[in-house]
Chains A and B, each alone.
Chain A
Amino acid sequence: MTGTTNPAKGKRPSFFRRLKTDITRHKAVYVMLLIIMTYFILFCYWPMYGNIIAFQKYKPIKGILGSKFVGLENFRKFFSGYYCARLIRNTALISLYSLVFGFPIPIIFAILLNEVHNIRYKKLIQTITYLPHFISTMVICAIIIQFTNSYGFITAAVNALSGHSGALISDPACFRSIYVISGIWSSFGWNSILYIAAMSGINPDQYEAAIIDGANKFEQVLHVTLPGIRETIVIMLIMACGRIMSVGWEKAFLLQNELTYETSDIISTYVYRKGFIDSDYSFSSAVNMFNSLINLALLTIANTISRKVSESSLW
Chain B
Amino acid sequence: MKKNHSYGDGGIRPTNGEMVFYRINYLVMTILMIITLYPMLYVVFCSFSDPNEFAITKGLLLRPAGFSTLGYETVLSMKMIWLGYRNTLVYVFVGSSISMVLTIMAAFVLSRREFLVKKVVMWLVVFTMYFGGGMIPTYLVVSQMGLTKTVWGVMLPGCVSVYNTIVLRTSFNAVPATLEESARIDGAGDLRILINVVLPLSGAAIATISLFYIVGTWGAWYNALVYLQDKRELYPLQMFLREMLIEDKTTDVYLTAQGGKASNQHLIKEIVKYCIIIVSTLPILVVYPFIQKYFVKGVMVGALKE
Which of A's residues lie within 8 Å of B, judged by CB?
1-3, 15, 18-19, 22, 26-29, 32-33, 35-37, 39-40, 42-51, 53, 60, 109, 112-113, 115-117, 121, 124-125, 127-132, 134-139, 141-143, 145-147, 151, 153, 156-157, 185, 189, 193-194, 197, 204, 207-208, 211, 216-217, 249-250, 254, 271-272, 275-276, 281, 284-285, 288-289, 292, 295-296, 299, 312-313, 315
Query: What count of chain B residues pass the 8 Å CB interface test?
Result: 96
Chain A CB within 8 A of B132 CB: yes
A217 x B18 contact (CB < 8 A): yes
A125 x B29 contact (CB < 8 A): yes
- Interfacial chain B residues near A27, Cβ < 8 Å: 190
Residue of B nearest to A218 (CB): B21
* Known contacts A36-B109, A250-B222; A115/B25 CB under 8 A: yes
* Known contacts A116-B25, A141-B246; A39/B160 CB under 8 A: yes
* Known contacts A47-B138, A197-B300; A142/B246 CB under 8 A: yes
B116 x A142 contact (CB < 8 A): no
A276 x B226 contact (CB < 8 A): yes
A254 x B246 contact (CB < 8 A): yes
A32 x B134 contact (CB < 8 A): no
* Known contacts A128-B36, A276-B135; A138/B21 CB under 8 A: no
Contact mask for chain B residues 10-32; partner A; CB cutoff 8 A; 1 contact, 0 none:
10100101100110011011001
* Known contacts A28-B191, A193-B296; A116/B140 CB under 8 A: no
- Interfacial chain B residues near A137, Cβ < 8 Å: 219
Interface of chain A, helix or strand or loop or mixed?
Answer: helix
* Residue in A42, A250, A292 whose beta carbon sits within 8 Å of that of B145 in the complex: A42
Contact mask for chain B residues 53-74; partner A; CB cutoff 8 A; 1 contact, 0 none:
0000011110000000000000
A138 x B245 contact (CB < 8 A): yes
Chain A CB within 8 A of B76 CB: no
- Interfacial chain A residues near B238, Cβ < 8 Å: 136, 138
- Interfacial chain B residues near A22, Cβ < 8 Å: 115-116
Residue of A nearest to B24 (CB): A112
* Residue in B18, B277, B305 whose beta carbon sits within 8 Å of that of A312 in the complex: B305
* Known contacts A138-B219, A142-B241, A204-B8; A128/B33 CB under 8 A: yes
- Interfacial chain B residues near A28, Cβ < 8 Å: 189-191, 194
* Known contacts A36-B102, A136-B238; A116/B29 CB under 8 A: yes
Number of A-B contacts (CB under 8 A): 248
Please name 17 further chain A to chain B contacts, defined as beta carbons within 8 Å, in addition to the given A2-B119, A117-B6, A211-B7, sorted by A numbering. Answer: A2-B120, A36-B106, A43-B141, A43-B156, A47-B141, A109-B32, A112-B28, A116-B29, A125-B33, A127-B289, A127-B292, A132-B36, A134-B284, A138-B242, A139-B277, A139-B281, A197-B303
The complex places the Cα of A132 from the Cα of B284 at a distance, in Å, of 11
- Interfacial chain A residues near B59, Cβ < 8 Å: 153, 156-157
Residue of A nearest to B20 (CB): A217
The complex places the Cα of A20 from the Cα of B26 at a distance, in Å, of 65
Residue of B nearest to A146 (CB): B273
- Interfacial chain A residues near B177, Cβ < 8 Å: none
Chain A CB within 8 A of B125 CB: yes
Within 8 A of A (CB), among B268-295: 270, 273-274, 276-277, 280-281, 284, 288-289, 292, 295
- Interfacial chain B residues near A44, Cβ < 8 Å: 128, 132-133
Residue of A nearest to B300 (CB): A197
Interface of chain B, helix or strand or loop or mixed?
Answer: helix
| Closest Cβ–Cβ distance, residue B306 to chain A (whole Å) | 10
| Closest Cβ–Cβ distance, residue B237 to chain A (whole Å) | 9
A194 x B26 contact (CB < 8 A): no
| Closest Cβ–Cβ distance, residue B150 to chain A (whole Å) | 15
The complex places the Cα of A125 from the Cα of B121 at a distance, in Å, of 42
A315 x B126 contact (CB < 8 A): yes
Residue of B nearest to A311 (CB): B305
- Interfacial chain A residues near B300, Cβ < 8 Å: 193-194, 197
Contact mask for chain B residues 35-46; partner A; CB cutoff 8 A; 1 contact, 0 none:
111011011000
Chain A CB within 8 A of B215 CB: yes
For this complex, 23 residue pairs linking A to B, each with C-beta atoms less than 8 Å apart, are A29-B108, A29-B112, A29-B190, A36-B109, A36-B160, A37-B121, A37-B124, A42-B145, A43-B141, A43-B156, A45-B128, A47-B137, A53-B140, A121-B26, A134-B284, A139-B280, A146-B245, A153-B60, A189-B36, A276-B139, A285-B137, A292-B134, A299-B130
B215 x A211 contact (CB < 8 A): no
B299 x A51 contact (CB < 8 A): no
* Residue in B25, B128, B219 whose beta carbon sits within 8 Å of that of A136 in the complex: B219
B277 x A142 contact (CB < 8 A): yes
| Closest Cβ–Cβ distance, residue A303 to chain B (whole Å) | 9
A112 x B29 contact (CB < 8 A): yes
- Interfacial chain A residues near B273, Cβ < 8 Å: 142, 146
